[in-house]
């Protein structure tokens, strides 16, 4: 229509121009006609100006319309969510993607702030801060976790810019990109990587523990006695249970009602070093037991203090019998294993049970070996060395004496009229006499002297580095000591025991074991013959050669 006006204006202008021209040609003298022509030309010119102005506005309006359509199409067809906020930070318009991200329709969101619609309580502050930044004139790029209408959370990437008009911020324009899938995939990948790392670490730890456990088993098998085994246990358990603050190894004593600490590692032990077996729940139940001093749980009663976060007691079982106890104390480290405390405890328990089993087996076999060895070298009734050990010890002492050039004395001791103890009070009484006398011998002689039961009621003592004179004095003192010993059997006081003793010394009375024993036996015989209860030494002028001992009296 506006174009029509322009065309009409041009037509009027042309018509007026034609009229003025005709008047000039056909009525040249008429001045009013000239004026009328001028007026008509002015009117036409004005009409032309109005027409062209209307056409220009029409063109601009068209262009604006096209641009608006284009912008709308851009916004609507954008793969991202787009929202425009008014100066009061309320939703002015948004596209379909924005609607689909948050599951609200444009109508529902229109006129409301995004904070009121889309954020959970803890994100409101973050949202407010973000919109404050934008309305302060800054462009913002953030990733925020939003809650959408159905209550699920989504991660969105936001690019927001302020909309300025004449230098003033009059709104905001934001592009939303839903990156939940990407974020979740990344989170999953991170979790997977963390789990893998944890598993690898766990595997490495298990490998190290298995290696240490095997090492401990190997070392324990090579131990010659329980003393060595205890030192192996304390050294390797310190490494094996690196998470524990300290540990103790308890063994059942020969006295069955006492458990005794025989090895320990680390500091601040809370357990008593010896206690009755029922004081420990692990011993009572025959399986691992955790005590937690800090909590309300039942504690083992062998603890002296409660300075530990947790304590693990594991019974050491060998052939279905509890032979000892492995005791491990944990400090703050256990508390630090927050999330996976249960897993950590289980792993420690399994490891401790494996270690305890291995230690128990090693100790049982060492004890068996010790027992067999003891049985092979000791007389079961008196606990003294047997004759075979006496022979070996004498050979060894003679060898040493030759090298170091000192003397060795051998004493043969026979109990006088021993048979009458058996005959009068029975064999038990006789056995009691033998045991008591062995005890007196043990306390009378030095630790380095070798006391043996030579056979029946005969004993031998090897006195290294003792001269014949010293040995004679010692033997005489023994005789006097023994007379004072009163033995009671079944309420009966037995007669005092007297001894007949024969001595011989290296090198003056013999240079070999055989020569010395023969000479000591001769002296013993002499003691018997002389009336018993005495000590006899070889005569001063007896000459000894390498081959035989000839006596000149
Ligand atoms: P003598 O003064 O001459 O040595 O007389 P004796 O009675 O001590 O010696 P004899 O050789 O006549 O007797 C030794 C007795 O010791 C004989 C044996 O029954 C007894 N005997 C040996 N071994 C044991 C033992 O282990 N227990 C008991 N009860 N008696 C034993
Ligand atoms: Mg005898
Ligand atoms: Mg005798």
Structure tokens given for 54 = 């209307």
Ligand 1: which atom is nearest the Cα of residue 421?
A: 29
Examine the pLDDT at 212 and tell me if it is beyond 50. yes
For the CA of 453, the nearest ligand: 1
What pLDDT does 549 receive? 35
pLDDT for res 117: 77
Q: How far is the CA of 381 from the centre of ligand 1 (A)?
A: 14
pLDDT of 221 > 50? The answer is yes
CA angle 129, 131, 132 (to 5 degrees): 60
Q: Decide whether 78-178 matches 197-374 in CATH topology.
A: yes
- The pLDDT of residue 341: 78
Phi, psi of 124 (to 5 degrees): -60, -45
Ligand 2 center to 8 CA (angstroms): 164
In this prediction, residue 543 carries a pLDDT of: 47
Residue 458 pLDDT greater than 90, yes or no: yes
| Atom number, ligand 1, closest to the C-alpha of residue 420 | 7
Residue 228 CB less than 6 A away from ligand 1 = no
User: Which letter does DSSP use for residue 115 in this model?
Assistant: H
| pLDDT, tens digit (0-9, with 9 covering 90-100), for 470-523 | 999 999 999 999 989 999 998 889 999 999 999 999 999 999 999 999 999 999
Q: What is the pLDDT of residue 318?
A: 86
pLDDT of residue 505: 97
431 CB within 6 A, ligand 1: yes
Q: For the ranges 21-25, 114-118, 332-336, 527-531, which has the lowest average pLDDT?
A: 332-336
Average pLDDT of the segment spanning 369-389:
91
- Residue range 225-284, pLDDT digits in tens: 889 999 999 999 999 999 899 999 999 876 668 899 999 999 888 899 999 999 999 999
CATH superfamily of 197-374: GAF domain (3.30.450.40)
- H/E/C letters for each residue in 106-170? HHHHECCEHHHHHCCHHHHHHHHHHHHHHHCCCCEEEEEEEECCCCCEEEEEEEEEEEEECCEEE
Indicate which residue's Cα is closest to atom 14 of ligand 1. Answer: 419
Q: What is the mean pLDDT of residues 46-61?
A: 78
Whether 336 contacts 309, CB under 8 Å: no
pLDDT of residue 371: 84
Task: Give the whole-angstrom CA distance, residue 241 versus residue 208.
Answer: 11
* Atom of ligand 1 at shortest range from CA of 455: 23
Kindly report the CATH class assigned to 387-552: alpha beta
Q: What is the pLDDT of residue 411?
A: 98
Buried b (16+ CB within 10 A) or exposed e, 463-488: bbbbebeebbebbeebbeebeeeebe
Superfamily of domain 78-178: PAS domain (3.30.450.20)
| Lowest pLDDT segment from 44-58, 250-264, 286-300 | 44-58
Q: Closest Cα to atom 22, ligand 1: which residue?
A: 456
Task: Give the pLDDT score at 20.
Answer: 65
pLDDT at position 292? 86
The structural domains of the chain, with segments of one domain joined by +, span 5-66, 78-178, 197-374, 387-552
Ligand 1 atom with the smallest distance to the CA of 381 is 26
Is the C-beta atom of 417 inside 6 A of ligand 1? Answer: yes
Find out whether the beta carbon of 456 lies less than 6 Å from any atom of ligand 1. yes
Going from the Cα of 413 to the center of ligand 3, the distance in angstroms, rounded, reads 9
CA of 540 to the centre of ligand 3 (A): 27
Rounded CA separation 471/501 (Å): 11
Q: Which ligand is nearest to the CA of 412?
A: 2
Tens digits of per-residue pLDDT, 530-553? 999 999 999 875 544 433 333 333
CB-ligand 1 contact for 430 (6 Å cutoff): yes
In this prediction the pTM is 0.58
**Residue 45: φ, ψ to 5°:** -65, -45
pLDDT tens digits for range 80-113: 999 999 999 999 999 999 999 888 898 988 998 8
pLDDT of residue 37: 67
Select from 461, 456, 460 the least CA-distant residue to 430.
456
CB of 94 closer than 6 A to ligand 1?
A: no
CA of 418 to the centre of ligand 1 (A): 5
Over residues 373-379, mean pLDDT: 90
Confidence (pLDDT) at 370 = 83
């Amino acid at each position: 229509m506006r174009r029509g006006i322009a065309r009409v204006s041009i037509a009027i202008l042309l018509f007026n121009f034609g009229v003025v021209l005709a008047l000039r040609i056909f009525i040249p003298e008429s001045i009013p006609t000239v004026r009328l022509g001028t007026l008509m030309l002015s009117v036409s010119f004005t009409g032309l100006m109005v027409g062209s102005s209307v056409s220009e506005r029409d063109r601009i309006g068209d262009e604006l319309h096209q641009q608006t359509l284009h912008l709308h199409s851009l916004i609507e067809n954008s793969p991202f969510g787009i929202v425009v906020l008014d100066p009061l930070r309320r939703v002015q318009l948004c596209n379909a993607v924005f609607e689909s991200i948050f599951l609200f329709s444009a109508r529902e969101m229109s006129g409301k702030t995004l904070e009121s619609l889309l954020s959970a309580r803890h994100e409101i502050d973050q949202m407010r801060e973000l919109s404050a930044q934008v309305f302060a004139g800054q462009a913002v790029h953030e990733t925020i976790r939003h809650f959408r209408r159905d209550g699920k959370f989504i991660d969105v990437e936001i690019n927001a810019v302020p909309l300025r008009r004449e230098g003033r911020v009059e709104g905001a324009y934001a592009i939303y990109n839903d990156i939940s899938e990407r974020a979740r995939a990344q989170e999953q990948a991170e979790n997977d990587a963390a789990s893998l790392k944890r598993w690898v670490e766990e595997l490495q730890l298990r490998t190290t523990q298995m290696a240490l456990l095997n090492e401990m088993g190997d070392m324990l098998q090579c131990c010659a006695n329980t003393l060595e085994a205890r030192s192996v246990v304390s050294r390797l358990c310190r490494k094996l249970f690196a998470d524990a603050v300290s540990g103790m190894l308890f063994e059942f004593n020969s006295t069955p009602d006492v458990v005794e600490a025989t090895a320990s590692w680390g500091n601040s032990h809370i357990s008593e070093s010896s206690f009755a077996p029922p004081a420990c729940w692990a011993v009572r139940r025959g399986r691992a037991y955790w005590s937690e001093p800090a909590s309300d749980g039942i504690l083992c009663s062998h603890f002296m203090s409660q300075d530990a976060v947790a304590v693990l007691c594991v019974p050491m079982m060998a052939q279905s019998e509890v032979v000892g106890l492995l005791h491990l104390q944990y400090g703050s480290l256990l508390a630090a294993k927050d999330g996976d405390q249960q897993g950590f405890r289980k792993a420690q328990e399994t490891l401790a049970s494996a270690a305890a089993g291995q230690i128990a087996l090693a100790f049982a076999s060492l004890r068996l070996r010790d027992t067999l060895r003891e049985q092979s070298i000791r007389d079961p009734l008196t606990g003294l060395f047997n004759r075979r050990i006496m022979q070996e010890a004498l050979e060894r002492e003679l060898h040493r004496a030759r090298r170091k050039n000192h003397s060795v004395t051998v004493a043969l001791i026979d109990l006088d009229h021993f048979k009458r103890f058996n005959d009068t009070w029975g064999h038990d009484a006789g056995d009691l006499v033998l045991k008591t006398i062995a005890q007196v011998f043990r306390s009378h002689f030095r630790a380095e002297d070798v006391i043996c039961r030579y056979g029946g009621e005969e004993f031998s003592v090897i006195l290294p580095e003792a001269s014949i004179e010293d040995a004679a004095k010692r033997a005489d003192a023994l005789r006097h000591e023994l007379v004072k010993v009163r033995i009671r059997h079944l309420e009966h006081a037995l007669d005092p025991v007297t001894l007949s003793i024969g001595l011989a010394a290296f090198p003056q009375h013999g240079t070999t074991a055989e020569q010395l024993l023969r000479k000591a036996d001769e002296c013993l015989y002499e003691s018997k013959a002389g009336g018993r209860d005495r000590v006899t030494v070889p005569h001063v002028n007896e000459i000894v050669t390498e081959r035989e001992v000839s006596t000149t009296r």
